[in-house]
Structure 1
Amino acid sequence: MPEMPEVQGLVDFLGERITGLRIERARVLAISALKTYAPPIEVLEGARVAAVARHGKFVDIATDAGAHLVFHLAKAGWLRWYDEAPRTPVRPGRSPLALRVAFEDGSGFDLTEAGTKKSLAVYVAADPADVPGIARLGPDPLDGTFTRETLTGLLAGRRTQIKGVLRDQSIIAGVGNAYSDEILHAARMSPYALAATLDDAEVDRLFGAMRETLADAVATASGKPPADLKDAKRRGMRVHGRRGQACPVCGDEVRSVFFADNSLEYCPTCQTGGKLLADRRLSRLLK
């Protein structure tokens, strides 16, 4: 799933290429992807791109017509860029294509979604705050106003596991499964630690790890075309997706805990005092 750094990479890439361009065509190719009906998507055609921005994991393409094209790539979605956009008609429902947008200079992009579970979402809105997912977002951890005190306030009173807190978009915007694993590894913290029980030193480590991990990942994504962002993300991971490999910090074996539709990865030596976390499908955390 694309997370904040990759989405920011897409925003930077698109901003450099489409700002000021007129939208020639905007076609929905998977009806289930379009979540709004007013204003109609046709309002985008003929409008010029005024800016491209990010809200959590949402991409927001603002136009001079007052309409915003907003999309969320969900778990299996991606953006495919073309210097010369295809003009061959595509029949809706016959491919992984969800949306095709073309610009006056001939360039364009497709939104695609693999698999059978379709969660990619496209919105046309007068204000991005009208998009429910954006309206519910918590603060952005790379925003200049997000301080250590901000994080302390978000953790206070939450008797929930820190892994879940980091992934909850209504608490902190933009972090998903992969980067929550990376942040917790850098902070030397168990994914099952309860948010409300973290002491000052642990909050300090978590705040520093969050800012540094995300800032480094954004810097890595910056300037890369969409086709290269996924591989760059994988190469940058120290524990996520590296089950069975050696931890780059201590050399211990990276372990996994499996859930219904995903998994988490961690280093026992760095994060849990050498103890293994039990598979939640079978039992609870080993204490």
Structure 2
Amino acid sequence: MPESPEVQALAEELDAELTGRAIAEVDVVEFRVAKTRARPLESLVGERVAGVARHGKLIDLAVESGAHLVVSLGRHGWARWAEADADRAADPADGADSDAAPPPALAAIRFDDDRTLELTDAGTFVSLGAWVVDDPREVPAIAKQGPDPADAEYTRADFDRVVAGRRKQVKAVLQEQESLAGIGNAYSDEILFAARVSPVVHASTLDADQLDRLYEATVGVIRSAIDARRGIPIADQKAAKVAAMRVHGRAGEPCPECGGEIRDFTFGSTTAQYCPDCQTGGELLPLKGGG
């Protein structure tokens, strides 16, 4: 799932490449992508891009008339430049299986310089979504978003308001978009490892020192990752994210801090990773199916 560091890099590349460009053609291949049927994506043809920004995990492409194309990348969505796809799809450097077919483009936007931006979805169900609205807050996922730890204005008070005292597993709190915008499964694993906090304890049980560490890790991990992803081409963002992970996706590998074994555990409908020695006092967390 794309999270705020990669989505920020995507927004910055699109802003640099598309601002001032006119939309020449829109092709929606999968009708379920369009969430505003009364205002289809095709209604933006002829509009000129005013800028591209990020709201949590969503992209906001503003046009000069004041309308916004808001894109939720969902669980498996991303974007690519169509002209580069043929050259990169089977490139092992992108972190993908060289024998795997590239994810399908569910919508394509061609601009007046003949470049085409494709919106893709690699999942088994359509998680990609797009809205044409006058205000990004008309999109429910943006309207209910909490503060973003990447923002310079984000404060400890913002953090304490949604974390301290919560009777909910701390990993779930970190991924709750209404509380902290932009964090998903991967970066919550990284934040909790950096803070040396168990992912399954309730936030209400954290002492003052643990809350201090968790706040510093939340802000530090996300902002450092944004800095690290900045300037990397969008086609290389997935590989860059995977390579930077210290525990997420590293089950069976040695912990980079203590040398112990990084483990999987089941969290909701997915699998996450942690270091038992650094985070849970050696306790092994449940893994559905054993292990």
CA contact (8 A) 1:18 1:49 kept: yes
Equivalent residue for 2:51? Answer: 51
Equivalent residue for 1:285? Answer: none
Q: TM-score, normalised by structure 1?
A: 0.91
Task: Letter of the 2:272 partner, please give it.
Answer: L
Query: Secondary structure of the equivalent of 2:15?
Result: helix
Equivalent residue for 2:67? Answer: 67
Q: Is 2:170 aligned against 1:162? A: yes
Task: Letter of the 2:30 partner, please give it.
Answer: A
CA contact (8 A) 1:84 1:107 kept: no
CA–CA distance in 1 between the matches of 2:288 and 2:169?
13
Equivalent residue for 1:194? Answer: 202
Shift of 1:96: 2.1
CA contact (8 A) 2:75 2:123 kept: no
Shift of 1:261: 3.4
CA contact (8 A) 1:85 1:106 kept: no
CA–CA distance in 2 between the matches of 1:155 and 1:218?
23
CA–CA distance in 1 between the matches of 2:289 and 2:67?
45
Query: Secondary structure of the equivalent of 1:182?
Result: helix
Equivalent residue for 2:218? Answer: 210
Unaligned runs of 5+ in 1: 87-94, 283-287
Task: Letter of the 2:259 partner, please give it.
Answer: G
Structural mapping, 1:269-280, within 5 Å = 269-279=277-287
Query: Secondary structure of the equivalent of 1:74?
Result: coil
Task: Letter of the 2:128 partner, please give it.
Answer: L
Shift of 1:215: 1.2
Q: Is 2:153 aligned against 1:145? A: yes
Task: Letter of the 2:210 partner, please give it.
Answer: E
CA–CA distance in 1 between the matches of 2:288 and 2:124?
26
Structural mapping, 1:58-137, within 5 Å = 58-82=58-82, 96-137=104-145
Shift of 1:84: 7.9
CA–CA distance in 1 between the matches of 2:254 and 2:84?
43
Query: Secondary structure of the equivalent of 1:123?
Result: strand
Q: Cα deviations across residues 105-138 of structure 1 (Å, max 9, x unaligned)? A: 1112101112321111111111100001111111
Task: Letter of the 2:126 partner, please give it.
Answer: K
Structural mapping, 1:179-258, within 5 Å = 179-258=187-266
CA–CA distance in 2 between the matches of 1:131 and 1:227?
27
Structural mapping, 1:253-272, within 5 Å = 253-259=261-267, 261-272=269-280
Task: Pick closer, same or farther for the CA change 1:188–1:174 going to 2, 3 Å.
Answer: same
Query: Secondary structure of the equivalent of 1:53?
Result: strand
Query: Secondary structure of the equivalent of 2:152?
Result: coil
Q: Cα deviations across residues 188-237 of structure 1 (Å, max 9, x unaligned)? A: 00001211222221111011111111111111211111110000000000
When structure 1 is superposed on structure 2, of 264-273 and 139-148 the one drifting more is 139-148
Q: TM-score, normalised by structure 2?
A: 0.90
CA contact (8 A) 1:39 1:126 kept: no
Equivalent residue for 1:2? Answer: 2
Shift of 1:25: 1.0
Structure 1 runs (4+) deviating above 3 angstroms are 82-86
Shift of 1:85: 9.8
Equivalent residue for 2:182? Answer: 174
When structure 1 is superposed on structure 2, of 54-63 and 144-153 the one drifting more is 144-153
**How well do the aligned residues superpose, as a CA RMSD in angstroms?**
1.9
CA–CA distance in 1 between the matches of 2:38 and 2:19?
24
CA–CA distance in 1 between the matches of 2:168 and 2:146?
17
Q: Cα deviations across residues 157-185 of structure 1 (Å, max 9, x unaligned)? A: 31000000001111110000000000000
CA–CA distance in 2 between the matches of 1:263 and 1:35?
30
Percent identical: 47
Shift of 1:259: 4.5
Query: Secondary structure of the equivalent of 1:39?
Result: coil
CA–CA distance in 2 between the matches of 1:149 and 1:4?
21
Task: Letter of the 2:70 partner, please give it.
Answer: V
Query: Secondary structure of the equivalent of 1:143?
Result: coil
CA–CA distance in 1 between the matches of 2:157 and 2:269?
33
CA contact (8 A) 1:68 1:126 kept: yes
Equivalent pairs counted in the alignment come to 275
